[in-house]
Amino acid sequence: MKQETKSKIKVIVQGADGKMGSAIIGAILKNSDFKLIPVSLTAPETIEKSVIIDGLSITLFTPSEMRHYIPSGFIYSFVPMGKRTPEKDIPDVIVDFTHPKAIEYNVDFYTKMGLPFVLGTTGGDLDFITTKVGEAGINAVVAPNMAGEIVAFQMMMDWLALNFPGLYKDYDLTITESHQKTKADTSGTAKAMVKTFNQLGTPFIQDQIEKKRTEDDYKRLGVPEEYWGGHGYHTYSLSKKDGSVDFSFSHNVRGREAYIAGTLNAIRYLYLKDVNGKVFSMTDVLQNK
């Protein structure tokens, strides 16, 4: 483990033009632990070349532009020659909240550049990411959910599954998850919980998860209108096949603050880790292992 330092952690947040990316940038700008490098990855079809967040202009670049600038260092390509300061402009940590389809492409880039990263974008192939990180000898935090409170709930359920396997073998399971319309993939948290409930005896597959993304869905679920653009509602319902017992577990997050706080903790955790080619989870972050 690296020693604690008063130096600011230099961070690039990918997806600055997205809701989660911009929210994390806003939090970083207000936190004295961090220094934001004002460049960010965007989608290939994006026309805009920059975005303003809390008065700061963030330069946006597409994947092809990012690859083009690798030989000279992609950070420096956006800094005038006379103002380039390599020791200040190389990021300590990359934070990725882009798009599920971009994960493997981005991870390949980060590992080739030797850049540790926090990946909050869901939907990636963990085996692929683990292999790439190991080959590169860097570290990463990869988590389908950055909210520490929810990760702790998952840990509790994992403990239950480990100690009481098959407990709910006589039960039917339904999983419902609701997020803002802009979330393209099925909740990574819900997917992870499927595995836990399988260990507990319920024959459920990820394709059975009910994904809610419409305003009518939000009304039925009771999501306050001000949070339609940013929320995470999850419900896991168990019913005994003979109709005699019901269980329901739920966690409903309104806004992005819980995810932002967890992401900042993951950045700090990763920054203090020695380079050894390992992928960490938010469980590791919570336990500070």
The DSSP call for residue 6 is S
Active-site residue flag, 179: yes
Phi, psi of 54, rounded to the nearest 5 degrees: 50, 40
Instruction: List the structure tokens of 73.
Output: 């260092």
Q: What is each CA distance from 22 to 17, 31, 134, 231, in whole angstroms? A: 6, 14, 30, 15
What CA–CA distance (Å, rounded) separates 63 from 46?
11
Residue 101 bears catalytic tag: no
- Calpha distance 146→263 (Å, rounded): 6
For residue 27, what are its two tokens?
């939090």
Q: Out of 35, 99, 132, 179, which one is annotated catalytic?
A: 179
Edge-to-edge strands, sheet with 231-240: 210-212, 171-179, 231-240, 246-254
Of 64, 66, 67, 54, the closest CA to residue 25 belongs to: 54
Instruction: Indicate which residue of 183, 231, 234, 273 is catalytic.
Output: 183
Report helix, strand and coil shares of the chain as percent, to nearest 5: 40, 20, 35
Q: Which residues contact 172 (CB under 8 A, 6 or more apart)?
A: 202, 238, 239, 241
Reading the block at residue 113, the tokens are: 């550049």
**C-alpha to C-alpha distance for 35 and 87, rounded to whole angstroms:** 13
* Catalytic residue positions, numbered: 179, 183
